[in-house]
Amino acid sequence: MVTDLGQPHSKMNRPRILCCALILALLSGIVSAGRAAPSPQASAEGAPQVLKIDPPNWWAGHTMNPVRLLIRGRNLSRARVELQGSGLTVSNVHPNATGSYLFIDLTIDPRSKPGRRSLEFINAAGSVSFPFDVLAPLPPQNRFQGFSPDDFIYEIMPDRFSDGDPSNDNPPQSPGLLDRSKPRYYHGGDLQGIINHLSYLKELGATTIWLTPIYDNVNHLNERERYDHQPITDYHGYGAVDFYGVEEHFGDLAKLRELVDDAHKLGIKVMQDEVANHTGPYHPWVQDPPTTTWYHGSEAAHPEENWQTWTLLDPHAPPQLRSATLDGWFLNILPDLNQDDPEVERYLIQNTLWWIGIVGFDAIREDTLPYVPRRFWHDWMAAIKCQYPRVNVVGEVFDGDPAMTSFFQGGKPRFDGVDSGVDSVFDFPLLYPLRRAFAEGKPLRETALTLAHDYLYQDPSLLVTFIGNHDMPRFMNEPGAGLEGLKLALTFIMTTRGVPMIYSGDELAMPGGADPDNRRDFPGGWLTDPHNAFEASGRSPDQEAVFARVVELAHLRHELEPLRRGKLVDLFVSDQVYAYARLTDRQSVVTIINNAVDPATVEFDAAPARLLNGTTLADRLGDGPPLQVDNGRLSATLPGRTASIYVQAGK
């Protein structure tokens, strides 16, 4: 709640309340410079028309109060707003210059009972009513949980996972967009398909699902983005035309809630993929923006993205050098939102809060993090933490330089005085040496050298480690990649520091080149598929071998606390052998990886692993013989391209 509503609060809640009140004060008092006075023609308007209200509903007792409504319609320049129902107050009513949008602050009495109200829009030519619901908040139990090093994340692209509801394959509002023979068309995967296979994810050991965006996409072919002169569909979800809608090929809001609730019942969290940087090229705002500064430029005239993200952390770079990176349109196609427009900022913050609250999401994966001003991320994160203190965010910083990725993790102000507040980022810097080592056979030492840069991060334990995702060729398409290298790569991310993540299909050694070949359908997700890899009987021996390794590693992570929460200590590093310990106050776990083709013997000091003379260690992963600390040292011989996880015998 917000203090200006006059409600009593405990001393325990006071710091949070003050924080929320400050954020709200900053946002509520803003009137966008992009708004313009109604045009002279407004006096000749017809009756008001309302096409959409964002957000369509809100909660009593929310920290964001008043909530700012964006009403899209026609003939709104001279409209006044009246309320039907109790507990609501309207203020700060402002139309845009064309009368196609109206901004309204709606204050909800925290004592208001849930239920439907309506807003009536009235001008001299007539009136129109539109519903607005006051909601009861979802119970917080098993919701809004955040992710942690205890978790194992599994990425799913809904369209490519499983078709659980064929009735939405060819929706009446968007027909003709499904064709499994075309890699850039819809293939039929949906939310019901994920629900149907939650037990598979539980068996695998996943504790968090990352869903790529479920926003509503354009209802026809995307003619703006073409490959080989052919239009595409926005099956991937990154071209939103409605930030408050669910793509009908995937299901609807009720089905999304069902998925999240069912996952929570199994102890699986759900992470939403959000995009605050841009919209799809067919969003209604492109032709009719709510303010004159809603986007950076227009469809006809705008800066083009130059990808020079290094300028953002360069203390010597002037704003002019950074502007194309922050303001440019991706591919010269995707309209770049202007988060420096206060109305855009307020809209995006409220949209995030709405999705978390309406569905019960636990965390957020934020797309294209560097391309949005860090000042916005600071305010956005503060608003999230005010309402949902445990919900956290991992941002995409697609770069191999730890100086770059660490700059965007929050925890302290940087040279510009801004603390982004963002909890975590994906560990792209570790991804690249990991792939080179375990696929190509390049030096494994590079992974240790990369981890040596952990001092740059505020919290390296929360970095999300991975071997691939939907934006790059599969691990198995790397030069020299094979099953043994894949299993070693998976072993590494499941035993080093961080939060491991795998992309759907990597547990089956799925191949795939560059986009869209890296987004092949999951085998068995469609009734006509010749093999069903959701079942052991439908997996090939190679698929089963990798699947079983992931299950085993997930089980060991769950059982052995140091693999999740332990301090990382390097014990031995050579060109192709890496030994390290994970330490807690109660236990030590030692992982040894031999990436060489030939057997290797290693010997190292056991003291850094807190192992005393005479301690016997058993290999919990492979068939390695027991080890014993002798004269303060450990010695082990591993066959080529194998790994062992040693734990004190009997523990």
Q: Which of 135, 166, 199 is the last residue of a domain?
A: 135
CATH of the domain at 11: 2.60.40.10
Residue 144, domain member (yes or no): no
Is 73 found in the same domain as 8? yes
Are the C-beta atoms of 575 and 445 separated by less than 8 Å? yes
Distances (CA, A) of 390 to 146, 327, 361: 5, 31, 11
Distances (CA, A) of 306 to 77, 185, 280, 474: 38, 28, 19, 26
pLDDT for 44 equals 72
Q: Which of the 8 DSSP states describes residue 191?
A: H
State which amino acid sits at residue 322: R
Is 55 found in the same domain as 165? no
CA distance 358 to 388: 13
Residue 142, domain member (yes or no): no
Please count the structural domains in the chain.
3
Residue 167, domain member (yes or no): yes
pLDDT of 327 higher than 90: yes
Residue 104, domain member (yes or no): yes
pLDDT for 650 equals 73
CA distance 378 to 285: 25
Per residue in 179-228, pLDDT tens? 999 999 999 999 999 999 999 999 999 999 999 999 999 999 999 999 99
Q: What is the mean pLDDT of the chain?
A: 94
Question: Which residue has tokens 């992963």?
Answer: 621
Taking the mean position of all CA atoms in its chain, how far away is CA 453? 24
Is 590 found in the same domain as 448? no
pLDDT for 175 equals 98
Count Cβ atoms below 10 Å from residue 105 Cβ, excluding itself: 17
**3 state SS of 140:** coil
CA distance 422 to 377: 7
Q: Which of 529, 544, 559 is the last residue of a domain?
A: 559
Confidence of residue 11 (pLDDT cuts 50, 70, 90): very low
Tokens of 353: 């809060």
Is 386 found in the same domain as 267? yes
Residue 141, domain member (yes or no): no
pLDDT of 32 higher than 80: no
Per residue in 345-397, pLDDT tens? 999 999 999 999 999 999 999 999 999 999 999 999 999 999 999 999 999 99
pLDDT for 10 equals 34
Q: Read off the pTM.
A: 0.95
CATH of the domain at 577: 2.60.40.1180
Burial 55-74 (b: 16+ CB within 10 A, else e): bbbbbbbbbbbbbbbbbbbb
Are the C-beta atoms of 543 and 536 separated by less than 8 Å? no
pLDDT of 12 higher than 80: no
> What radius of gyration, in Å, describes the C-alpha atoms of the chain?
26
Confidence of residue 38 (pLDDT cuts 50, 70, 90): low
CA distance 14 to 4: 13
pLDDT for 52 equals 98
Are the C-beta atoms of 462 and 423 separated by less than 8 Å? yes
Residue 146, domain member (yes or no): no
Is 388 found in the same domain as 240? yes
Confidence of residue 269 (pLDDT cuts 50, 70, 90): very high
CA distance 191 to 158: 7
Domain span at residue 325 reads 153-559
Is 508 found in the same domain as 384? yes
Per residue in 565-606, pLDDT tens? 999 999 999 999 999 999 999 999 999 999 999 999 999 999
Arithmetic mean of pLDDT, 254-269: 98
pLDDT of 33 higher than 60: no
Is 385 found in the same domain as 273? yes
pLDDT for 588 equals 98
pLDDT for 13 equals 40
CA distance 44 to 74: 12
Q: Which of 514, 538, 559 is the last residue of a domain?
A: 559
CA distance 68 to 91: 10
pLDDT for 387 equals 98
Is 425 found in the same domain as 304? yes
Is 157 found in the same domain as 116? no
Is 582 found in the same domain as 442? no
Residue 364, domain member (yes or no): yes
pLDDT for 39 equals 58
Question: Which residue has tokens 């209604």?
Answer: 284
Is 610 found in the same domain as 555? no
Residue 140, domain member (yes or no): no
State which amino acid sits at residue 309: T
CATH of the domain at 313: 3.20.20.80
State which amino acid sits at residue 480: G
- For the beta sheet containing 57-59, the strands, ordered from the edge strand earlier in sequence to the opposite edge, are 57-59, 126-135, 115-123, 80-84
Taking the mean position of all CA atoms in its chain, how far away is CA 228? 30
Per residue in 278-321, pLDDT tens? 999 999 999 999 999 999 999 999 999 999 999 999 999 999 99
Is 609 found in the same domain as 515? no
Tokens of 573: 């590093």
CA distance 371 to 308: 10
Residue 345, classified by CB atoms within 10 Å of its CB into exposed (0-12), middle (13-18) or buried (19+), is buried
